[in-house]
Structure 1
Amino acid sequence: MKLSWLVMWAGTLFLNPVTADCNVTSQTVTCEESGKNLSNIPINLFQNVTKLSLKNNKITLKDSDKDILQSFINLTELYLNENMITVLYNNSFCNLTKLVILDISNNHISTVHKAAFAGLNQLSVLNLSYNAITQLDSDVFTSLKSLTVLNLQYNFLKSFHIKSSFKLIKTILAGNPWTCSCDLLDLQKWLTASNVTMENENSTTCTFPNSTEKLSIRMAAIQQADCKIEKASLENTVTFTVAIKLKSSASLTPPTPNNITGSNGTHAELPLLGKSWTFLAGVLGFVLSTTLLIFTAIKCPTWYHYLISYRHRRLEENDSEMFEREFSADMSSSPTVSGTNYEDPIVIFEKIQAFVPGEDGFIEDKYIDSHVTEES
């Protein structure tokens, strides 16, 4: 047995020259790559490595890192603590079916996707402490059927919904800003129903609504009846809001051929226009009519004067005689000033010759000589 294993190890060493710090024993292959300022997982490692320590580096767990990890099918312990991981994406460790211990503490993890731990059927210890996790999906640990120790201390969790039945033996939840309200009721029920040991229970307290009492989240008084009333009220509010949005969208949706004629050829009822459209149409009509009236009131006098002034006719020969008669009548009808020695002026008009059009088609203007004499 040992001889066959040594032959396999020698073949692996020949095919994969190792420059990393790895130790090989009769049962384990341990590679220590801690504190080397690595930004990527090294590729020059034993493919049959069982324990890999990559702590205190700058690894972000990119896609290339995940591809390298998938080749370590015999890995049972993986330490990625004290790195620069921010997000755990789906299937980050999917091929590590023999992994038992996973330590991702002291990173900058804020988001854990729903299927981040998919495929870890043998995982027993999971350490996610000292990160920036604010929320965990209720199904995130569903695939971890063998999980016995869960460390979530010193994150930013306010509540945690338990959906699956864990076989946990120990959990560490201290250092989170737990809110002892209806959102924490599921976790409290699970802690009470299961025999799990909550490490540092006295320091796992509520920070809201009263942080001075230092109540343990397991012992905090959360009334289930109040939570049911609050849940029912919230569901009614959500239902009412959704109904209003659907009604508004239906009133604003224009009729289409699909809602005019049904699938069986029958005419469906058209949606009624909303009152907002009627009001908008009325305002628009009022504005247009008012604008038209103002425009007409301003422009009509101008058009009227323009039409009146546009009267042109040809000058006739008898126009001078008519003007003479009209002027004489005006002078004779003018009143005289009493008490003066001045006599009325006598105005003599000469007959103005008629305008005779020249041969070139233009009319020559003749000067009118008028002689006014005064008697002394």
Structure 2
Amino acid sequence: MLTKILFTFAAIKVCSAIGCDQPGFSKCICGDIEFRGKVQYVLNCTDVGFTNASVLSQLPPQIQVLIFTGNNIPELPWNVFGTKNSNEQLTEVDMSNNNIREIRGKTYHRVPNVERLILNHNQISTIFEGKIQQHPRVFSNFESLEELHLTDAFADNSPEDIAAVLHNIFINSDLSRLKKLHLEQNEISHFTDPRLFCDLRDLMDLHLGTNKLSGIDFMVDCLKHLRFIDLEANAIKQLSLRDLSILDSLPDRNQNLTVDLSNNPLSCGCDIQDFFNWLKRTRVTIRNKDKLKCQNDLQGNDQSLVELKQVDCPRTVKVGVPVSQCPTESNHTVTFLAIALAVCLAMHVYTHRVKLQEKFLKPVLHSVSNKVQYTSVGKQETQEIGV
């Protein structure tokens, strides 16, 4: 938001002499502005109070960047950019923070050269009338799309619904040129289809930060160009050997891979040793590796992974056992001594078995024998009385 505000002030300074005389855009700022390192024709309609998107059907033909944010547009209609202009110069569309709830299947037409689409911080619903939205080709006309930003873009639907919608979109919309995908802050806990991203053949950067993922349940070996996975601030307590193998599969194909695992609640259980050993040998680059920490389940304190170098936890220990309860050298020593003591005791009993029989066993047998005799006499007397 701060970036947008600064940009707006800069745009006003440059465009105040130019003005924006395009029909319907009198509240907006437009003109040739330096944007992303080069001068482009920008139309900026940030926080101007639009309640529908009809004005966008009259975009100026020379437009290269559209910034249409901070308005209140619950629904995007068909052909939102009209049917007259070709919009061949348009390369970026930012429609963030517009309270968008529904995007029709034929909303985006005439966007052949748009490379960056930003729909962050909206309320796009994945459910309509009790069913999953069926607009799988919603992005199919973005033939040149390289960046798709969907940070906090969906309403608070279930992770299964969001995953299903994304699955349909990726399969039915040709996004083969997509290089960057942002899905942060969408409360995604898992993906039901492990091949969800495999249709994005050119994908390089996958941003999944600030979700609720507990592991890596999607394939990456099908993405030959993938170079970065953002898993920051998820719900990852342990990465299984399978997860680590999945990450290793890309470097094995001679493609560098960087992964961000910062701010996850890694557990200091015994299985952390597998992860620590993997950190030492993997060719995957772990961002801020020296700052990774795990949490002690008993004390709730963070502990640097570097301090776990000397922990020796065998694989037989159950997952989630705190490091303080892991078998250590002293535990093994106590166990050995206990076994040795038991063996010595057994040998002592065997060696002195004759004396032990005379002292303990015979008196016990004699006592039992007398008791049996007394009991038999008692039973006989009882039977005689009853005659």
- TM-score, normalised on structure 2? 0.47
Q: Which protein is bigger by CA-based radius of gyration?
A: 1
Higher RCO structure, 1 or 2 (CA under 8 Å, sep 6+): 2
State the TM-score, normalizing by the size of structure 1. 0.48
